[in-house]
Amino acid sequence: MRIVPLLAACAVGVCLHSGVAQAQIQLIIPWPAGGGTDIIGRLIQPVLAEELGGQLLIRNVGGATGTIGTAEVVRAKPDGATLLLTSMAAIVIQPSFRANAPYRADQLAPVCLIAEAPATLMTPKNSGIRSIEDIAARARAAPGQVPYASGGVGGLGHLAMTAMTRALGIEMNHIPYRGSGDSILAMQQGTVQMLTAEANLVQQYGMHAIAVFAERRSPDTPDAPTLREQGHDLVFPLWTGIFAPAHTPEATLARLDTACGRTLGTPSVVEGMTRAAHPIRYLGRQEFTRYVQAETAKYAELIRASGLGQVD
């Protein structure tokens, strides 16, 4: 029996007994299977389970732009046995966007940042859309009719596209889905023509990357210009991290963070994340907490200034 995983398992509130029982930790992903966050979860699951010394059970609880599964974690017992793996929209956008949000960002304890990549605007290769100018031309020819997908109302894809249409002075038809996996399926079926989401979907599903909402071009899509290059200062990083319920003991959070850092440094995880085009960016608990606070304030102001928030 490995001593370090055993101690880690005890630290999250479930000890092993004579090698018979195993710690069972539930990792809730508040998005449907097949999307970017789910892919990250499946990639880190076996190594993180080993680091935690027990079973790590993934459960997808999709819906309402990540808020259903996230709210479940907020309500969970703060003992480290229930964790959340999510992209940023459920944490730093939805509490400000929704008129009656079921939780606040500070009701979750950040554990670690896992990955960060620029939001990428993509289309099917047979769409005929190859540039921002193509999008603008189609939108001006049919105001409010050209459809685009997002992983949910008030998600990063929705906010990024709203910011872009405002910058271009056009109107488009927003069609929200339950996650990026469902959005990609809709694009493959020809229901919608564009999506802003994780860059890894471009390669995985054979899409065409039009632009990235970033400070610089992405090495994963080097031919896709930034919005800044095209005269629009629109930067929206898409990040994914692990959270626990608020009031989880500090010692437990520290041990979870240590397991996260060790997992992200494991060669098999590095290789898998690289292959899936999910750039690893690890931030430990303290730094990640400050990052989440800054992101929460940034999007709250963006939503207020743009008038995008839902009303009662």
Per-residue pLDDT tens digits for 121-162: 999 999 999 999 999 999 999 999 999 999 888 888 999 999
Whether residue 311 lies inside any domain: the answer is no
99 shares a domain with 80: yes
Whether residue 312 lies inside any domain: the answer is no
What gap in Å lies between CA 286 and CA 308, rounded to an integer? Answer: 31
Asked which of 197, 230, 263 is the last residue of a domain, the reply is 230
Whether residue 92 lies inside any domain: the answer is yes
Q: Which of 221, 218, 219 is nearest to 207 (CA)?
A: 221
19 shares a domain with 153: no
| pLDDT, position 11 | 47
Whether residue 124 lies inside any domain: the answer is yes
User: Does 6 have pLDDT greater than 60?
Assistant: no
The single-letter DSSP state of residue 240 is E
What gap in Å lies between CA 83 and CA 241, rounded to an integer? Answer: 10
Angle at 292 between CA 286 and CA 294, to 5 degrees: 105
61 shares a domain with 43: yes
Asked which of 189, 205, 230 is the last residue of a domain, the reply is 230
Q: How many structural domains comprise the chain? A: 2
Mean pLDDT of 179-201: 91
User: Does 4 have pLDDT greater than 60?
Assistant: no
129 shares a domain with 109: no
Whether residue 63 lies inside any domain: the answer is yes
Asked which of 170, 205, 230 is the last residue of a domain, the reply is 230
